[in-house]
Structure 1
């Protein structure tokens, strides 16, 4: 058994290491997205408008963050077929608003495990109901050129952890985000 918490107390629950922790590649733990080389903007700068709702519960159809109806019922996502807009730091509603599920932090007991022939992975220590949020995939947000450069410099035997996310915005605009947790990331990217 390895260290008691790979997250260094950054998360709401500890994530222990089960396996030869000495073999774990060193990386800097970050619980959130951070600006990396070539990032168009700092991910900590919120550029999403918040709602004007008052109180602890936003009303679907009225709240600007809930244009498609409620996202969650009893912490479970209602539909994976439509965009989810969560209330954020710019919103007037309280932090107890049920439309902030991904902001509650780690809610399930997980552990970092080494699997023969597979490498390191995140394993659950309890049943996770379908539709529940598990954790964010955090790391460095890169510009397109930097992401391409990092992928091109990898050897065929290297693991690639870079994820490319394309979001279709209003007016046909497409927002591309490249996240690389290889050297700076969280347990969701291990």
Structure 2
């Protein structure tokens, strides 16, 4: 009598494929999910409102001058780093080595372009790692000292890593968004 091995071959392939599906699902469930909170919003909201946010930045810059000073490095209202990968930034960025391990100083001043008057600011910033949110530092008005509308704060980083400074500044209902990729040395 001649043996037919096709049913055994089919059962073997089915068992292999089924075990690969189970392994894939088990591996995927065991990995942590890290949600991006650029601009202090969920990524779905940033994706949906990105054009409005950049228009808001243009309106903010037409009304106000923003000076963000991080460890004696001055920044304006910038989001240009959002389109670059970390490797590109390591080679070409002007925002390299802004932060340091240990204490970091942050100062924010907003002035009206017409009157040169310093303005009150509602600040919402986060300093976060590029790959995880377990070391996020949320810096808002509660963490700033307001000395004649010059907002200053200190924060501490515990490790050398790639970091992102992101968030928003609100002045008289006008919102400006910032996104800076850098590293701590």
Which TM-score band (shorter chain)?
A: under 0.3
TM-score normalized by structure 2?
Answer: 0.23
**Structure with greater Cα Rg:** 2
Higher strand share: 2
- Higher relative helix content: 2
TM-score (norm 1): 0.23
